[in-house]
Every structure is written in structure tokens, then in C-alpha cells.
Structure 1
Amino acid sequence: MAAPFDLALEALGWIGTAAFATAGALAAARKRMDPVGFLLVAGVTAFGGGALRDLMLGLPVAWLTRPDLAILAAVFALLVFFVAPRIERRVALLLWADAAGMAVFAVLGAETASRAGAAAWVAVLMGVMTASFGGLIRDVICGEIPLILRREIYATAAAAGAGAFLALERLGAARTIAVAAGVLVAFITRAAALGGGWSLPAYGGQAARGAADPEPDADRNAEATNRISPGP
């Protein structure tokens, strides 16, 4: 029987997967895609980062062994297809669910890399990739500037959580303590950014000659829902 700690991580993983799939489906809704498009964008948002991590580490792709998570993502994608306007009104709730999922995926992604024998800095990068690259793929598919290349404190929070986990692991801390501390660091960092409106400084100099204006102030409602990035 699974330990309560592992059950809690599993529950947070389900919440994160659902939040990431919903964010991807909302992006598909803004682009007026058909149900296949909803399934595709929701899927890459939820699982793209973890799949890239596994391929780079030479491991079996994790989500292919978890049909329950694939079904969960598909259900939420199709649900959004029918009720997208109602879900967009709950964007604040989605952001907090996403923060919890991001924190778990960043730490578990780093742990997966560490167990595969990766160096500490590689494990941190794999944690960040697990937590955020699904959103990057989603934005590329939808023709938008990837969120993690803008001001959001998201990949930074994932890196902080993954780094805290690895530091404690290398110091000999128990897995429960190391994982819990890493998840808390990532979640608190993201929560502080959301609550305080924190962001990284953007380039404020003169644009290169001929560069296109990215119009950072356009469609702020779309950017709010795009703050959700993805999972294992």
C-alpha cells in the first residue's frame, strides 16, 4: 500500500496534469481549433516537458505508461471544448492549481534525472524542463511568444525547487524531507510572484533595427491564462 506522502504527491500530480491540460485547451479555444486540436495542445502542454526529459535521458517516456493521466488530460481537453468561457472565469483557481503541479513536477523531474545518474546541474535543468517546456511547445504551436521567455517567475521557481531538493538529497536528507522542501520552495516562490505581482525585468533598450514589435501589452487576458505551463 502506498505511503500517505506518495499518495499526496500523486494527488498533486493529478491536479497539475488537469490544470496544464486545461491551460492548453484554453489556448486552443482562443485559436478556435477543433476537438483534435484541443486534444493535441492539451496533451503537449501536460506531457511535453516530461517527454523531452525522458528522451534526453534515454528513459522510457513516462506518460506512455500512465493511461490514467492520458485519459485525464483528454477529458479536461474535451470539457474545455464545450465550456471554455466558464472555465476562463476561474483563471485564478487554475493558476494556484498549476503552481502546485509545477512544484511537484519540477522536483520529481529533477529526482528522475538524478536517479538516472545525471549531474546536479543537469538534474536541475531537467526539473525545469519537466515543469515548463510543455507550455513552451504549446505557445509555439499556437503562434505566441513562449511565456517562459517573458517576465513570468515560473521557470525560476521550478529551478529553485529542483535545486533545493538536490541540495538536500546530496546532504543525505531523507527523500520525504528533500522532496517536501523542494516542492515548498517552488510553490512558495511561485505563490509570492502571483500574490505580489513579481516579474523579472524585461529588456528596456532600443530594439534592433528591423525587429518586429512583440506588442507585450496586447491581450492581457490571454496572457493570464497562459501563465499555466505544464507537466510530466
Structure 2
Amino acid sequence: MELAGKVAIVTGGASGIGFATAKAFLDKGAKVVIGDYNEEGGQQAEQQLKESSDEVAFVSVDVSREESVEKMVSATVERFGRVDIIVNNAGIGEFSVTHELTYEDYHKVIAVNQDGVFFGAKHAIKKMLEHGEGGAIVNTSSILGSVGEGGAFAYNASKGAVNLMTKSLALQYAEHKIRVNAVAPGYVETGLVNRETLGELYDVVIARHPVGRIGQPEEIAHAIVFLVENEFVTGTTIMVDGGYTTQ
């Protein structure tokens, strides 16, 4: 898919992988809507990206609520006329002792990480079917959708579900030229994952990656761009993990 002139939504686009992806799309000539729960961060991201392109807009969204996601998609069509791409990237983490995990805390992770993918795909696909020219969906999974992590029960469950949701959607909509893939990052340097926030655990996390470091948001964004551009790839989850899951 040629990105120039296409319209993309990136949820969780105010920071980290989402922001890097939005920038990568803009650099390729796409029009981008940043969807994020963080209004201040989203507005700041919009202003920063407008330094290189006017074809970007921020829309506040809570991906765990269907009506909010539907409004985001509708706002995208109102602004840019269509939807060609959605990156369901918004997500939250969790680390807890499972037998002490409350249903409310468990379901919060599921609602954002899993339901958010469902809502985003559902409403973007509706718009893609309307214009009849196909489209591309990329879901942000995780290495923890394929391997277990003690204390990440809800997160493991949500990301494992994303991998199979990706396959199911790819099969269902291939005949409509809508491709669905996922990217599964290893640990990535962001505002939440860095030496300052992790302290002594930072070196432990690095040691789990055979390449000897954690990833950068731009490296994940590069994989997402590949999944959108390559029209012979659908139903797959690409590991971008520094060798983490080869062990």
C-alpha cells in the first residue's frame, strides 16, 4: 500500500510507539489522527508533529468504550474523508500477584488491551467497507502474548488474545482486501520503561534480550510501516524483540 494520501488512525499516539508510528506515517505522506486518552499529551503531540505536516489531528479517545472509539473514527472521516489504516496501539500494563488481583483490575487491562482492539477494528472496518478499496489494520501485541511472565496474568491474557483476534480478522476480511497483522515488541525504551523508572531491574530486562539492549519506539514503528505497505502480508504477528522469544 502506498502511504501517500492515505488516512491513518493511531491509538495511543501521544507517546512512545504510537507517536513514533504517527511520525513515520506522516513522513510517508499519510494523513494521521492521533487517538489518546491523555488529552494534554495528545495536544502536545499534535503540535509537535505539525512542525513537519499539517495533515495531523488529535482526537481524545477512551479505547475501552465503544462509543468513544466510534466517535474517533467518525471524527477521522469528518476531517479527512475516509479511513484506510488503523493501528490499535493503545494499551496498559499490569504487574501483580495473581491471587490478589481484583476482577476490576483484571478487567481494566482486558478492556483497554483487548476490547480496544475489537472496537478499533470493528469501526475502522465499517468505514473501509464503505469506500470499498480495502485497508490495513495493525494491532500492537507483545512478546507477552507468546511467552508467560509471572505477575502479568491479565496482560498475558490480553496480548495472547490480540494475536488470535488478528488471525481471525485477517481470514474474515481478506476477500475485501483488508489486511490485518500485529507487531509484538520486546521491551521498548519509553517514559514507562527506562533506567530511571526500573532502577536495578533495567539491567535485568536488558539481559533478557540477546542483542544486549532494549528497543527504540522508531524500530517498532518501522515494522508497523512494513506491515501496512506490504500487500502480501496478512494474519501474522511480527516479533520485534531483540531475540527475546528465541530463547
TM-score by length of 2: 0.27
Q: Say which structure is richer in helix.
A: 1
Name the structure, 1 or 2, with higher relative contact order (CA <8 Å, separation 6+).
1
TM-score relative to the length of structure 1:
0.28
